[in-house]
Structures are given as C-alpha cells and as structure tokens.
Structure 1
Amino acid sequence: MTSDTERIVVVGAALLDGGRLLAARRSAPAELAGRWELPGGKVEAGERPEDALVRELREELGIDAEPVERVPGEWPLRAPYVLQVWTARLLPGSPAPEPLQDHDELRWLSLAEVWDVAWLDQDVAAVREIESLSLLRRP
C-alpha cells in the first residue's frame, strides 16, 4: 500500500458546456494513441490540484477554464499515480478548445453519446461517476 507521500495525483477535467462533456483523443504515447480521455495531467510539487487543472487545460487545449467541484472518488492509475477529477467550465471569452498537446481530436459528447468513444480504461470509472451525477444532458 502506498502512503500519501508516495502518491502522485493526476487531475482530469470533466469540462462541461451546455450539458456536454469534452473528450480528448490521445496521440501519444503510442500505447494510448487513439483512445479517449478526460484532459488533464500531473499535479506538480507544491501545486494545488485545482491550479494544475487550470494549467493543464491551458497547455493541452489552449483554453481558460475554472474548476467547479471535485467529482467524488479517486481512481488508481499505474503506481504511484491516482486520478482525481474536477468538473470545470470555460471562462467567458476563452478560445474554443483545440488539441495542442498529446491529443489529435476533441469531441463534445452529450449523455446519449458519452459511450460512443473508446475511453482509456482508467477513465471509464470516472466517466461513469460523472454520468451518475446527472451532469450530462440528452440532445
């Protein structure tokens, strides 16, 4: 069992807009390419998860977003990494998301479409939790 000092948190964004969820298709590394994920990345030493989320969304998608609330739960990735997810929204005046880093396509998914993409295994449980919170809407 790993202690808190050995854990590295990876933040994922459940970026919501008009009842739709943004999914990002990985282009790298090769073993993950073509699968879909919630955008985000590692929390740096001394960084709050919410600040990491804002930074990662700016780096990966070129957007200005704000975290809203943490999605209940935490999902194990390859040790010592764990995934925590926050709902987030675009700030007024933010550019539209673009796949700038590690992704080659983005899709906004409604509730009816959320399982139309091949999610990374570690993101499936988080997406199920987002779905259960009724944050998505049917078109």
Structure 2
Amino acid sequence: MNELKQIVGGAIVDSLERPRMLLAARRTAPEAFAGMWEFPGGKVEPGEGLEEALHRELAEELGVEVRLGAEVEGTTAAGWPLNTAAAMRVWLAEVTVGEPAPLEDHDELRWLPLDGRAGLLGLPWIPADFPIVHAVLAATAARSAAD
C-alpha cells in the first residue's frame, strides 16, 4: 500500500481566543475544483514538518504569517481524507503579520461569520473540505461556549 500524500490546511480565524470569522479561499485550479472554496494550504515537502509546511504554504498562497492554534482533529490518523491518495491535517490559525491576499491558487478570499452558518455552509466547498467546515464550526463553537 502506498503512503498517503500529506496535505496541510489552515482554518484561519480572526482570533484564536474568540473566533468570530473564518477565512475561505476560492480555488482557480485544477478545473474540477475551480470556483470552489477551501482551506488554504498545500503539500508537505520531503523533510518538512507539518506545521513548518503550513507556515510556508500560507506565506506563499496568502502572504501572511500566522500563529497556529489547536489542530482540528481528522477522522483518521492521517487527518481528513481528501481522496484515496491524500489526507489533510488542519489547524486553527490567526494572522499575525500581513493582510491575506489571493497570491497563488485562489482568485478570492472571503471572511465569513462563524455564527452565520448559512453563509459559510452555503458556499460551494470542495467536497472533501465540507466535513472539515462542520468540524471547525464545532471546534469554534466549543471555544466560544467556554468563554
């Protein structure tokens, strides 16, 4: 059996302590996913740590530095299955330097309220990311309830 390709993604929120908004990114490619929304991130390079890869990917794709929060636990040991060949690990993240901009792979970014489920869930998410959206909503709701 081949090892799964490891992907990392950032569920970027306006505040790790009091998350109210989530940043969604609209893909431009590949054609099958163009126009669909996702969590920004990408492939882990050989010899690179997961969190290191996420910092690199978010800098490349959005031009930002972030502080990572808790991991949004996936449904398998490798994270969230994307397809038969890849799985994604996702962390909550907060921008610490820069303003997110669609530099690579995206043509639009949108901040969406976490309490406005219809707006967030109404976007055409990449199908593999949709269960992660629900998990992020649960994780941020639990964080807000703990306040």
Q: TM-score, normalised by structure 2?
A: 0.84
Structure 1 letter corresponding to 2:29: A
**Alpha-carbon contact 1:53-1:67 (below 8 Å) kept:** no
Offset at residue 66 of structure 1 (A): 2.2
Q: TM-score, normalised by structure 1?
A: 0.88
Give the match's secondary structure for 1:84: strand
Unaligned runs of 5+ in 2: none
Q: C-alpha root-mean-square deviation of aligned residues, in Å?
A: 1.6
Deviations along 1:85-127, one digit per CA (max 9) or x if unpaired, are 1111111xx2210001010000001120211311100000111
Where is the helix percentage greater, Structure 1 or Structure 2? 2
Structure 1 letter corresponding to 2:82: L
In 1, Cα distance between equivalents of 2:121 and 2:82 = 21
- Residue 28 of structure 1 is matched in structure 2 by 29
In 2, Cα distance between equivalents of 1:66 and 1:41 = 17
Give the match's secondary structure for 1:68: strand
Unaligned runs of 5+ in 1: none
Offset at residue 134 of structure 1 (A): 2.7
Structure 2 letter corresponding to 1:106: L
- Residue 6 of structure 2 is matched in structure 1 by 9
In 2, Cα distance between equivalents of 1:130 and 1:79 = 23
In 2, Cα distance between equivalents of 1:134 and 1:61 = 22
Matched, 1:117 2:123: yes
Matched, 1:78 2:83: yes
Matched, 1:46 2:67: no
Count residues with an aligned counterpart.
Answer: 132
Structure 2 letter corresponding to 1:97: P
Which deviates more from structure 2 when the two are superposed, residues 29-38 or residues 111-120? Answer: 111-120
